[in-house]
Amino acid sequence: MNASVVGAEIDELTAQINSIGLKGAGHAKARSAMAELAKTDVTDITQILSSFDSSNKLAVNWLRAAVDGIIEQATDNGEAVPIDSLLKFIEDRNNDANARRVAYEWIVELAPGNRDAILLASLQDPSLEIRRDAVAHSIAKAAALVDDDNESALAAYKTTLNSARDLDQIETITKAIEDLGGTVNLSKHFGFLMDWHLIGPFDNSGTKGFDVAYGPEVKIDLGNAIEGKMGNVKWFTHSTEDRYGMMDLNQIMPEKYKGAIAYAYTTFESVKAQDVEIRLGCVNGNKIWVNGKMITSNHVYHANTSIDQYIAKANLKAGSNEILVKVAQNEQEESWAQRWQFQLRVCDQFGTAILSSDRK
């Protein structure tokens, strides 16, 4: 039997795997390292888990395969898997989210009696996969209270909603709350921006206007008219009542323009300087600027759209921040290519809403 690899040897092997790159870079060394890493004793499994780096998804896949292989071999041989070590690994939320998920899945498989306790403590987990399971667990517990204790059920659903980040779970919880007579402010839960200044149309014939810097990209002047596609245009305000923050430009603009561009502008009051994610759902070509810096550009028309379709990172300063969105409509005539709309929200890396300090 080959001797186990231990300590610094494990670190060296996982480092070789973590250096794997695209287009074959480092693959030969990684394959060799995998063969050696398979000799790791199962009692040292958390050392491999500690090496996970989610920024390298390919390496994570290789390391997961190594962990799975070591544990499977140990169970086949009747060896004890260190469940206590895996539990401690999960409890430390500074550990990589993917690694914690792997540890969780093995605990559930090998020691399922720990599942409920883990999930009860995981409603705010930074691993969104573990959190999803925790939310599903909490939904089931709330549902079990319905009819016998609707007041407690409603409270449980509301607590669960605060933790939910996936659309399907949010919609399930919202329906349950409303069925029990409660209310949900979905736009606030998601952090959708509801109030905008709008201007347009500007020319996008042949989609050539996408990279033209029309007036709003040069200077925001809400009081003056500027030249548009068919004469001078002025800024006007609109607040959407759609609970998912959708701004339907076909309904808001004077006409259903084709080959046209509209701009939407708003301010966001931040209580502090902070890094955020600007998440956009838009079926049209789009660009976003935050405080004059373009953070995303997507020259795509009438592909599938969804909440959080485009995610861009932005830096907010303390106080007032300017957000400008360019939404470009092309000239397709098909019935499925008529939408001209967008929805935008501000959140953290986990999808938790960050609200403007003047949000009512």
Reduced to 3 states (helix: H, G, I; strand: E, B; else coil), residue 357 is coil
Q: How confident is the model at residue 304 (pLDDT cuts 50, 70, 90)?
A: confident
Query: Over the stretch 242-295, which tens digit does the pLDDT of each residue have?
Result: 999 999 999 999 899 999 999 999 999 999 999 999 999 999 999 999 999 999
Mean pLDDT, residues 139-159 taken together: 97
DSSP string, 111-174: -GGGHHHHHHT-TT-SSHHHHHHHHHHHHHHHHHHTTT-HHHHHHHHHHHHHH--SHHHHHHHH
The residue whose two tokens read 């905008």 is 196
CATH number of the domain encompassing residue 197: 2.60.120.260
Classify residue 346 as exposed, middle or buried by CB count within 10 Å of its CB (0-12, 13-18, 19+): buried
Pair (288, 142) in one structural domain:
no
Instruction: Average the pLDDT over each of 21-30, 45-54, 112-121 and give the range with the smallest value.
Output: 21-30
Domain final position from 164, 184, 204: 184
Q: Taking all residues of the chain, what is their mean pLDDT, rounded to a whole number?
A: 95
Pair (216, 287) in one structural domain:
yes
Pair (17, 137) in one structural domain:
no
Nearest Cα residue to 204 out of 230, 241, 178: 230
Calpha distance 70→81 (Å, rounded): 10
Residue 38 vs residue 345, higher pLDDT: 345
pLDDT of residue 360: 81
Read off the pTM.
0.89
Pair (72, 101) in one structural domain:
yes
| 308 belongs to a structural domain | yes
| 359 belongs to a structural domain | no
Pair (213, 328) in one structural domain:
yes
Pair (196, 342) in one structural domain:
yes
The enclosing H or E element of 326 equals strand 319-329
Pair (25, 76) in one structural domain:
yes
Tokens of 144: 């079990």
| 2 belongs to a structural domain | no
Q: How confident is the model at residue 3 (pLDDT cuts 50, 70, 90)?
A: low
- Which residues neighbour 288 within 8 Å (Cβ) at sequence distance 6 or greater? 278, 280, 294, 295, 296, 312, 323, 324, 325, 326, 344
| 352 belongs to a structural domain | no
Predicted confidence (pLDDT) at residue 102 exceeds the cutoff of 60: yes
Pair (14, 43) in one structural domain:
yes
| 52 belongs to a structural domain | yes
Pair (147, 272) in one structural domain:
no
Q: How confident is the model at residue 4 (pLDDT cuts 50, 70, 90)?
A: confident
Domain final position from 68, 88, 120: 120
pLDDT of residue 1: 41
Mean pLDDT, residues 61-81 taken together: 95
Pair (135, 194) in one structural domain:
no
| 357 belongs to a structural domain | no
- pLDDT above 90 as % of the chain: 90
| 360 belongs to a structural domain | no
| 265 belongs to a structural domain | yes
Domain span at residue 136 reads: 128-184
Instruction: Please tell me the total count of domains within the chain.
Output: 3
Pair (96, 210) in one structural domain:
no
Query: Over the stretch 153-180, which tens digit does the pLDDT of each residue have?
Result: 999 999 999 999 999 999 999 999 999 9
Pair (215, 326) in one structural domain:
yes
